[in-house]
Structure 1
Amino acid sequence: MVDYNRRMLIRGMGAATTIGFAGCISGPSSGSGGGEFPSQDIRHIVPYGEGGGSDTYARAILPTVGEELGVNVQIENVPGAESIAGITEAFVAEPDGYTHVGHTLPTAGISWLLNPTNEDLSKLKGVCQYGRTPYVIFANPELGIEGPEDLANRYANGELSDFGGSLGAANHAAMIELRNQGDIEWGEWVVYDGSGPTIQAAASGEIPAGVATDSAAAGAADEGTIDMVAALTTQGSTVFPDLPTTSDAGWADVDFAGEITRTASVAPETPDERVQTLADAYEAAINSDEVQQWSDETGNEVLFRGPEETTQAIQDAFSIDDRIDLDELRE
Structure 2
Amino acid sequence: MDDFPRYDGDFPRWEESFRRVESHIKSTTDGFFGEDKKDRYVANFPLRENILKLIVKEAYGRMPFNKEYVLKSYQRFHGGKPYLFYPARNAKKLIILVTGYVSYVSYNRFSWFFDEAEVWDRDIAYLFLCDPSRHWYVGKEGSDDLEIYSEIIYKTVESLEISKEDVYIVGASMGGYGALVLGCKTSLGGVISVHPQLSFKSTLRYGHRLWAKKISECGVNFIDIDDLFASSDIIPPIYLEVSRNSSDEFNLDNVIYELNKKNCVYTISRHASLVHETASPSRAKIEAVINFMELSKKLNSVDDVA
Question: Same fold judged by TM-score > 0.5?
Answer: no
- RCO higher in structure (CA 8 A, sep ≥6): 1
TM-score by length of 1: 0.29
